[in-house]
Amino acid sequence: GRAWDIGKVRTTCPYCGTGCNFDLEIARRSDSKGQTREEVIGVASSIDAPVNGRALCVKGRFGTDFIHHRDRLTTPLIKKDGQFVEASWEEAIAFAASRLGDIHAEYGGDAFGVLASAKATNEENYLLNRFARTILGTNNIDHCARLCHSSTVAGLAASFGSGAMTNPIEDIAKTDFMLVIGSNTTESHPVLALSMLRAIRQGTPCVVIDPRKTELAALAHKHLPLKPGSDLALLNAMAHVIITEGLYKEDFIKTYTEGFETLCEAVTETTPEWAESICGIDADLIRDTARRYARAQRGSIYYTMGVTQKHTGTHNVMAIANLALLTGHIGREGTGVNPLRGQNNVQGACDMGALPNVLPGYQPVTDAGVREKFARTWDVKIDSLSERPGLTVGEMLQGAHEGRLKSMLIMGENPVVSDPDSQHVIEALERLDFLVVMDLFLTDTARHADVIFPACSFAEKEGTFTNTERRVQRVRQGIQPVGDSRPDWQIIGDLAAAMGSPFPYRDPASIMDEIAETTPSYGGISHHRLDKEGPLCWPCPAKDHPGTPRLHMNGFVRGKGKFHAVPYLPPAEQPDDEYPLILSTGRRLFHYHTGTMSRRSGLEEVYPEEHLEIHPDDADDLGLKDHDWVRLSTRRGAIEIAVWMTDRIVAGMVFTSFHFVEAMVNKLTNAATDPIAKIPELKVCACKIEKI
């Protein structure tokens, strides 16, 4: 046969928010009939990659086999008599368009719910926004950021005026004190964690606050294994120490902040001794941590979902922001408040307005001027854009449960496995009149659909992802769509045309040109510029603007940084006689999210099944040995899983990941939400264990 040609395409990793760049290696050959066969055969790192250089973690390096996996959906499917039947694109698009149109005619726009995706490109999220707001006529659009950093977006916006990571990853090398809270960085953001490990090795003090002794905690200078759900007590005690010992930056506070007195009053009683009684950390250790952070020249804080996935998530974030405002560790190199965003494009999906209260660029739906601008660009009447903020994911599912929401369109999300209380999610989806899913695979969510559109992976399309440091990076097409799949942007365009409102975009580059027009922070960004100059951090408001790696360098986006009084509240569900242990959930190095991609790659051979981490004292009390199978139950359900005895976690707590549908931990988690950000308390609920 003919020889294979091997080519390379530089693109961005589809897994975590670190946003590593790599080269997809592509083999191509034509047969005698002129048919071209092409395949992604591997991933190579490159020394000139902007974020990661040569480094890649196992997911980026070995996790891309899913692109050609036999489970890929390659043709549209329509459910007939409870069975999926293959359909042509014309038939499936026409069917979906007509059903959506009927539902709109009967119930109006707010009968729809739309889930955008942190796995899709910026251009696709922008387009789905236009589709939801103008064609379906609803602000009911949300995505998985609701479950990870909605409390960051709300908390940091209220404190600083912008809800994003303040400093770039490269600043880890410039900080002289790192506080890492509720972040299993080495497993969840492995290449970013390399920078932390390098800094620790070079002597930068690092304190990790986490109930589990993660790899980073084990290597840090100090590990504070607090009780799950007690973050706010500890953070308020740190503020108490900084204020009562006069360690705050008076000039900075006077010039750049407001509300200092409110905070002083709120933390009068939150002594380290008081916090010790709640979080179990020695009062002197709390004092020492507060002093070290305050006395550092360039102190920095990094956090993830241990902080945000709580019913006090927004307040937790504000408590972190309080510490940075007290000490002036913000707006300078090597400092900052740095939420590490989870998914590859969760920052971008938020930026593109995949949130119910804002249009792209965090421009509020309640602002008539904003609505007018988008109405003009999208060629619709201003009255057709609703001024009422829409529903969050949880509210949409509740609405479906109660029969208020009639139809959902889900692009590349899998709420049955990722959202709390799975049984409730399944019942909600089953009660819909019509569910459309766009995905690569027949996920546990897609099984409940009436129509499934086969979507393309990152390797088959053009676009951009925005990583955790607000860096907009190119996604480049390496191969033609697998089977008869289509990129999400094209599917949305096809649906729009079939519903009588065709979109004017030629390609993702032209969508980005419109994003630049409507979204001030992306104003200077285009595919052409990214290809020529490399990635750009937003805000990048003009074509000659170099981008903004560090926020708040010349004062805060909201004017003055604002202190907030954020009193401690215990977790929504406490252990009791019936459910005596605390269950917490998170991620593993070898897999990602609901496992739809990573579990269809070589990584599955390395890490094929899940287990439950349990402290040896608790295992002894329950008469358990390593690898014994147990029934793990909460008030919402039960799963069966093998135990792994480890002193990585504090006694009284068990931990597992949400990657494995066979041990679907979100059957058990608590849907109690933060009243501001509506984020569920996935990190803490009461559970019990029985040997089986």
Residues of this chain that interact with ligand SF4 (CB under 6 A) are: 13, 15-16, 18-20, 52, 56-57, 59-60, 189-191
Closest distance to ligand SF4 from the beta carbon of 492 (Å): 26
Q: Would you say 109 or 190 has its CB closer to ligand SF4? A: 190
CA distance 143 to 119: 10
Q: Would you say 147 or 169 has its CB closer to ligand SF4? A: 169
CA distance 539 to 536: 9
Closest distance to ligand SF4 from the beta carbon of 524 (Å): 25
CA distance 422 to 665: 9
Kind plus residue range of the DSSP H or E element containing 642: strand 637-645
| Of 571, 674, 691, 593, nearest in space to 633 by CA | 691
Location of structure tokens 């241990």: 306
Q: Would you say 16 or 275 has its CB closer to ligand SF4? A: 16
Closest distance to ligand SF4 from the beta carbon of 530 (Å): 17
CA distance 17 to 466: 8
Burial class (CB in 10 A: 0-12, 13-18, 19+), 535: buried
Q: Would you say 13 or 337 has its CB closer to ligand SF4? A: 13
Q: Would you say 184 or 407 has its CB closer to ligand SF4? A: 184
| 597's tokens | 């991609």
Structural contact between residues 207 and 549, judged by C-beta atoms closer than 8 angstroms: no
CA distance 195 to 174: 10
Structural contact between residues 186 and 582, judged by C-beta atoms closer than 8 angstroms: no
Q: Would you say 14 or 361 has its CB closer to ligand SF4? A: 14
Q: Would you say 77 or 346 has its CB closer to ligand SF4? A: 346
Q: Would you say 60 or 306 has its CB closer to ligand SF4? A: 60
Count other C-beta atoms under 10 Å from residue 494's C-beta.
21
Q: Output the residue with the shortest Cβ distance to ligand SF4.
A: 60
Closest distance to ligand SF4 from the beta carbon of 19 (Å): 6
Closest distance to ligand SF4 from the beta carbon of 191 (Å): 4
Closest distance to ligand SF4 from the beta carbon of 467 (Å): 8
| 536's tokens | 């750009």
Closest distance to ligand SF4 from the beta carbon of 342 (Å): 10
Closest distance to ligand SF4 from the beta carbon of 331 (Å): 27
Q: Would you say 16 or 128 has its CB closer to ligand SF4? A: 16
Closest distance to ligand SF4 from the beta carbon of 512 (Å): 21
Q: Would you say 58 or 677 has its CB closer to ligand SF4? A: 58
Q: How far apart are the first and last CA of the chain?
A: 57
Distances (CA, A) of 524 to 361, 513, 530: 13, 9, 10
CA distance 134 to 176: 49
| 572's tokens | 């929504």
| 666's tokens | 């979100």
Q: Would you say 164 or 425 has its CB closer to ligand SF4? A: 164
CA distance 406 to 212: 42
Distances (CA, A) of 313 to 156, 288, 303, 466: 11, 25, 12, 23
CA distance 339 to 215: 19
Closest distance to ligand SF4 from the beta carbon of 386 (Å): 36
State the DSSP string of 374-421.
HHHHTTS-GGGS--S----HHHHHHHHHTTS--EEEEES--HHHHSSS
Closest distance to ligand SF4 from the beta carbon of 592 (Å): 7
In 82-107, which positions are buried (b, 16+ CB within 10 angstroms) versus exposed (e)? eebeebebeebbebbbebbeebbeee
Closest distance to ligand SF4 from the beta carbon of 52 (Å): 6
Q: Would you say 190 or 228 has its CB closer to ligand SF4? A: 190
The whole-angstrom distance between residue 248's C-alpha and the CA centroid of its chain comes to 33
Residues in a beta bridge with 584: 655
Indicate the pairing of strand 629-634 with strand 536-537.
Answer: unpaired
